[in-house]
């Protein structure tokens, strides 16, 4: 088992990438602290993990709140005695997010609070726990849009993910000699609720698919497998990376028809 004896905290575990990761990490031997705001779906993740023979607890936390992030890390230590893996994965894409002129400050602030400050707070409270544990692996979910401009305007989302990548690099450098690795996972467009609620017609899907060399959306399960590599000791020399898992989208350009 690739995560035997490890304790992993996963935010955004009620849905999409976080849910699939909770299940995969548990199959690989990790004890799971599943964190979300959506209690019913978060509890569902945990009951599925536990009925498949895993060991998981659910913790309600809003990652944009300092006291909640402190609480979720404490809950991990109280239940399982330590923290080895922190997957700062919760995020939102607000339907009102647009270009700079149109996007309201409220949308900017909310997006930054969850997508960027949420990652900062996870690290703020997760890192001391990892120092106590003798090291660990932090995975911060960014996005391919943090590496390039998105064709569909969503300035707050894109800027928040760029911030996650920069924060990740700096923390990786600061904590490298403490045996704490910090990597950003940069997914391409995925077939999860977050994106599909916007791409709700075949025409909209096709407009996006034309940019993806593989010609399909990624699956949450495929991100879980990448997160597993970053969480496990197999990635022991990997830190500060933008770990891109995107069907080739960041390598492609499209000539308009």
* DSSP bridge pairs for 56: 32
Determine the size of the site formed for ligand NAD (CB under 6 A): 29
- Asked if residue 13 lies in contact with residue 19, where contact means CB atoms within 8 angstroms, the answer is yes
Nearer to ligand NAD, 2 or 191 (CB): 191
Segment 94-133, which members bind ligand NAD (CB under 6 A)? Answer: 114
195 binds ligand NAD (CB under 6 A): yes
User: Which of helix, strand or coil describes residue 47?
Assistant: helix
* DSSP bridge pairs for 187: 245
- Asked if residue 88 lies in contact with residue 11, where contact means CB atoms within 8 angstroms, the answer is yes
Rule CB under 6 A: choose which of 183, 192, 235, 241 binds ligand NAD.
192
Annotate each residue in 130-169 with x if it binds ligand NAD (CB under 6 A) or - if it does not, as one string: -----------x-x--------------------------
Nearest approach in angstroms of CB 199 to ligand NAD is: 9
Nearest approach in angstroms of CB 76 to ligand NAD is: 15
Rule CB under 6 A: choose which of 22, 189, 224, 232 binds ligand NAD.
189
Q: Give every CB contact of residue 23 below 8 A, 6+ residues apart in sequence.
A: 45, 48, 49, 52, 54, 224
Rule CB under 6 A: choose which of 84, 89, 111, 158 binds ligand NAD.
89
Catalytic residues: 157
- Residue 98 and residue 75: Cα distance in Å, rounded? 37
36 binds ligand NAD (CB under 6 A): yes
Among 11-19, 21-29, 95-103, 128-136, which window interacts with ligand NAD (CB under 6 A)?
11-19
Nearest approach in angstroms of CB 230 to ligand NAD is: 14
Other C-beta atoms closer than 10 Å to the C-beta of 257 total 4
Among 75-83, 124-132, 189-197, 230-238, which window interacts with ligand NAD (CB under 6 A)?
189-197
62 binds ligand NAD (CB under 6 A): yes
Rule CB under 6 A: choose which of 56, 92, 138, 228 binds ligand NAD.
92
Tokens read off for 155 = 């300035």
- Asked if residue 219 lies in contact with residue 245, where contact means CB atoms within 8 angstroms, the answer is no
Nearest approach in angstroms of CB 225 to ligand NAD is: 14
Nearest approach in angstroms of CB 88 to ligand NAD is: 8
Q: Which residue has the tokens 């990438």?
A: 17
Distances from the Cα of 162 to the Cα of 13, 90, 197, 255, angstroms: 22, 15, 23, 26
Tokens read off for 93 = 């894409």
User: Which of helix, strand or coil describes residue 147?
Assistant: coil
- Residue 190 and residue 208: Cα distance in Å, rounded? 11
The site for ligand NAD (CB under 6 A) is made up of 11-12, 14-18, 36-38, 61-64, 89-92, 114, 141, 143, 187, 189-190, 192-195, 220
């Amino acid at each position: 088992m690739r995560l035997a004896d490890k304790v992993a905290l996963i935010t955004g575990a009620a849905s999409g990438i976080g849910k699939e990761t909770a299940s995969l990490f548990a199959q690989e031997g990790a004890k799971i602290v599943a964190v979300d705001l959506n209690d019913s779906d978060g509890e569902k993740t945990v009951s599925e993990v536990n009925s498949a023979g895993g060991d998981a607890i659910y913790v309600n936390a809003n990652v944009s709140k300092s006291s909640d992030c402190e609480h979720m890390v404490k809950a991990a230590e109280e239940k399982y005695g330590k923290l080895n893996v922190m997957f700062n994965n919760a995020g939102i894409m607000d339907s009102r997010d647009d270009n700079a002129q149109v996007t309201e400050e409220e949308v900017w602030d909310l997006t930054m609070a969850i997508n960027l400050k949420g990652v900062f707070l996870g690290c703020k409270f997760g890192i001391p726990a990892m120092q106590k544990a003798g090291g660990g692996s932090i995975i911060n979910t960014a996005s391919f849009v943090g590496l390039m401009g998105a064709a569909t305007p969503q300035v707050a989302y894109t800027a928040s993910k760029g911030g996650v990548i920069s924060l990740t690099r700096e923390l990786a450098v600061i904590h490298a000699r403490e045996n704490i690795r910090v990597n950003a996972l940069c997914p391409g467009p995925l077939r999860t609720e977050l994106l599909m609620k916007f791409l709700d017609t075949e025409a909209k899907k096709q407009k996006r698919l034309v940019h993806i060399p593989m010609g399909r959306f990624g699956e949450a399960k495929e991100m879980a497998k990448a997160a597993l590599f970053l969480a496990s000791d197999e990635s022991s020399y990997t830190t500060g990376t933008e770990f891109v898992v995107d069907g080739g989208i960041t390598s492609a350009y499209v000539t308009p028809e």
